[in-house]
Amino acid sequence: MSLRRFRLAVALAAASLLPLSAAQAQEKTLRIAMTASDIPTTTGMPNNGFEGMRFLGFPIFEGLILFDLSKSDQLATLRPGLAESWKQAADDKKTWIFTLRKGVKFHDGTDFNADAVIWNLERIFNKDSPQFEAAATGIMRSRVPILASWKKIDDYTVALTTTQVASYFPWMVPYILTSSPTQWEKLGKDWGKVGAAGGAGTGPFKITKVVPRQSVTLGRNDEYWDPSHKAKVDSVLLMPIPEANTRLAALRSGRVDWIEVPPPDGIPSLKQAGYVISTNSYPHVWPWFYNMAAKNSPLADVRVRQALNYCIDRKAIVSMLNGTAEPSVGWLKPTDAAFGNPENRYTFDPTKGKKLLAEAGFTPQKPLSFKVMISTSGSGQMLPLPMNEALQENLKQACGVEIQVDAVEWQVLLNAGRALPDAPALNGAMALNVSSPSSDVGMMFRYFAAANSSPTGSNFQQWKDDKFEAALTTLAEATDETIILENFKKAHERLVDNPPWLYIVHDLNPRAFSKNVQGFVPAQSWFVDLTNVSLK
């Protein structure tokens, strides 16, 4: 993001802090300050990463399968959504049969059925369909990279077929969001107009007002199909406030009830003043993606990639964040069942790091030097500017590594993650700082399988490891949970020993609330269930 655009975003955030009207004050409106620098898109496939999905995805637009966000003491699991049930076809393990829920209506009053499911799949995966949404297709395709075909069996049954047998396919299905075909037709078959007005979904909230670059208002869907998940507040006001201290000021002044990612140095005083701080472990990793495949990339050498993992002081970063993170020494946490037993146990060991660098040809006379592209804010990005400044100094002092930092807007960084290794959009960057989910095997496949190499998938680094591929294939074809876990471990061990990423920290998902916010459940997920929340 340019300095001018960043200042504009902060100015707009400040403008949103004007006094509430009497009508707004009487209505129970939950006001949330997001980390995004702009409002996520509102057509039914939000941009701005998983923060977009958190606030302008799942609360409004649903998938055939949903995440169960009701518990804080275990990883989020799956639950039925717009499909009551699903199963692999008896005669073809690549095909999954979904039995759809009857009686569900979109926010515009029209029926949800198999035709709506097929229409939405054509919208994303068929570039020749009239409803093709170009701006959304790259986002959803990267999250569901193995969908090959789809078919309506009857009005309430559909079949989805994948390119390969994949036991983990159900974990990808929640990201296929469903938007009303009628809303698109009513607004002139123009996705730009749908975005300006807000798309119509089936979820517990509906979009009632969009103010470009300033806010989106969600209203409670009183006709929601699931009585146990009806919203308790009348409305939700979502505001992009990318600068952490501006979010803090908004909370302290009473202009918002909830802020994402409070500045760590402000947490003690918030607690002292009676604000509620929520943290919890969840499947998240804050890494650098290595650009291994660029021409003459120094990161093509596994010794360099391992060295950097030994050169960083993760505990110092955690301390800087006031304990709102924990050290990351792999894609998963060491406490996760599938972490395995890798040969490398990364600690802060500059001696070992420098030895590996020297073996790869990098010495004090010929230091390793490269550029990292980072964001100024964004979903799961924590505090990217000070954190990367600390890493820059850490690597210089510990191992003589010289890092240049290129700060851009969050969506620009996300777009760079789908670029080819030597694309001009990368501006010569040899690493990208993109926070990422680590929730399930489907997500592992998305980020690391050779089949998903950029630009078609999320394997930005174009990493390929034969042992990893073999383990992934075995677990994809397995139905026995013991075999799946055993090979999940084998796959993860390769991610540690042949690292495609620099593993830095796992976020603890900090949020701050006014004491009027009740009922929030800090699920072990990137996502939240806003229907649990009430205002005192």
For residue 180, give the CATH number of its domain.
Answer: 3.40.190.10
Domain count, the chain: 2
Angle between helices 466-477 and 441-448 (to 10 degrees): 140
CA–CA gap between residue 371 and residue 428 (Å, rounded): 7
Q: Measuring CA to CA, which residue among 34, 111, 496 is closest to residue 309? A: 496
CA–CA gap between residue 197 and residue 381 (Å, rounded): 29
- For residue 269, being part of any structural domain is answered with no
Same domain? 523 vs 492: no
Instruction: Compute the residue count for the chain.
Output: 536
Q: Measuring CA to CA, which residue among 31, 50, 76 is closest to residue 240? A: 31
Same domain? 530 vs 383: no
- For residue 480, being part of any structural domain is answered with yes
Helices (H) and strands (E) in the chain, counts: 17, 22
Cis peptide, bond prior to residue 19, ω within 30 of zero: no
- For residue 356, being part of any structural domain is answered with yes
- For residue 13, being part of any structural domain is answered with no
Report the 3 state secondary structure along 82-108.
CEEEEEEECCEEEEEEEEECCCCECCC
* DSSP state for residue 519 in the 8-state scheme: -
CA–CA gap between residue 92 and residue 69 (Å, rounded): 31
| Portion of the chain with pLDDT greater than 90, in percent | 92
Q: Measuring CA to CA, which residue among 372, 505, 381 is closest to residue 431? A: 372
Terminal-residue alpha carbon distance, the chain:
38
Same domain? 314 vs 441: yes
* DSSP state for residue 175 in the 8-state scheme: G
Same domain? 214 vs 351: no
Q: β-strands 517-518, 534-535: how paired?
A: antiparallel
- For residue 192, being part of any structural domain is answered with yes
pTM comes to 0.89
Same domain? 521 vs 423: no
- For residue 242, being part of any structural domain is answered with no
- For residue 268, being part of any structural domain is answered with no
Same domain? 91 vs 163: yes
Same domain? 502 vs 525: no
CA–CA gap between residue 75 and residue 521 (Å, rounded): 13
CA–CA gap between residue 419 and residue 451 (Å, rounded): 15
CATH number of the structural domain spanning residue 392:
3.10.105.10
- For residue 299, being part of any structural domain is answered with yes
- What phi and psi values does residue 451 have, to the nearest 5 degrees? -65, -20
- Confidence (pLDDT) at 379: 84
Strand partners, 68: 77
* Helix intervals (H) in 63-187: 114-125, 134-143, 181-186
- Domain of residue 435 covers 284-507
Tell me which residues of the chain have a pLDDT lower than 70.
Answer: 1-26
CA–CA gap between residue 450 and residue 457 (Å, rounded): 9
Same domain? 409 vs 328: yes
CA–CA gap between residue 221 and residue 231 (Å, rounded): 7
Same domain? 527 vs 495: no
Cα–Cα distances (Å) from 523 to 11, 155, 480, 502, in that order, read 32, 34, 27, 26
Same domain? 357 vs 492: yes
Same domain? 371 vs 456: yes
Strand partners, 147: 162
Q: β-strands 235-240, 215-220: how paired?
A: antiparallel
Same domain? 402 vs 453: yes
CA–CA gap between residue 232 and residue 229 (Å, rounded): 9
